[in-house]
Structure 1
Amino acid sequence: MTAKKRVAILISGRGSNMTALINAAKSPDYPAEIIGVFSNRVAAPGLDVARAEGIPTATLAQSSFASRLAFDEALTGILEGWDTDIVCMAGFMRILTPEFTNRWLGRAINIHPSLLPAYKGLDTHARALADGVTEAGCTVHFVTPGLDEGPAILQARVPVHPGDTPDDLAARVLVEEHRLYPEALRLLASGQVAYPQ
């Protein structure tokens, strides 16, 4: 069997999508292994989950750096120290510099809770409901310098129900996120999808 791709996950919070990736990677035939979890928040609950799984963790505080670029260079140093092949962003609430995204272009992916290109950025569910859409969902995409603009790898669609609140819709979409992200990583790690040249 081909060597498994070495995957680092970037989080800022509880890391539920991180947990879905960790669980998928436990399967012997999964083409990726989770070799590290990084958070820009020292108290992110997801770090405890990763440590409990025996996965190395690292954190950096933005306040310790003079610029976003200096932070991203330090982050790249951590990722390279782990010998990372693929970077998965899972609720990583930080805008990355073009220098970082270009360094990892084609090897960094993110999950976003909308059917991109609709509803880039924050408050996706509230904005979708305000527009009266009948369908929402999530997208796994390649990370590029533009926010939530990279080419999509996979999407999952979720119906919007009458009377849905943003929390209702978020919960329904999250179920699909936990299914979709491991599948998208499997496709990338196995070479079945690649960044379009």
Structure 2
Amino acid sequence: MITNEITKEDAFLHLIYEYRCLSTVGYAWRRFGDPKSNDSGKAEANKIIPEISTVIQDSLLLHTRTLIEFYWPNQSRSTDINISLFTSPKTLDKSNYADLIRLKRPIEVHVLHLTIWRDTSCRSQSDNDDTQRPDWNKVNGKIFDDLIRALEELSNNLPDLWNKAFKRLKEASESRFKQGANFNWPDELGEKGKVKEYLQNLSK
């Protein structure tokens, strides 16, 4: 029987996954995806995975869309995991994240669905900004900073235990984003049992 309920502890586990993926792929974008990158390993990466920037970008945008929906749920389903499990959805002022939130619909239109709006001639006939294709090369590099800022703001509005847990997630995400494989993701933000033990220790 599905109860449509989940504990904060289990919800946090899934949020950890999203930020771990976001920070890893954000690091990969800076090194191998961004056209402005002069990383010495970029050519070799493209030999191993042709058009690796496309693979990286799709993953980046997928996790971005998921996290936008976590912070600013729209027509939320009862089975969605979102900010309301931890605090009021109004905690984060939408106006401070307008550019980030605006990406949600173009990601759905141009990445997650095969739509007529992928076609330039069709887009040119539309006045709807949601159907236009952003210059992903310009926006991709800003995404991580916006979503890490949202994580920090959320943590600052949570009680002590969750404040510490969310700040730890922020620290780990920033380290992975900056260091890539040179940063070992912490055990307490890994497997379910370790996360549960970590949260229990915080509550003592």
Shorter-chain TM-score bucket reads: under 0.3
Higher strand share: 1
Q: Which has the greater radius of gyration? A: 2
TM-score calculated relative to the size of structure 2: 0.24
Higher helix share: 2
TM-score calculated relative to the size of structure 1: 0.25
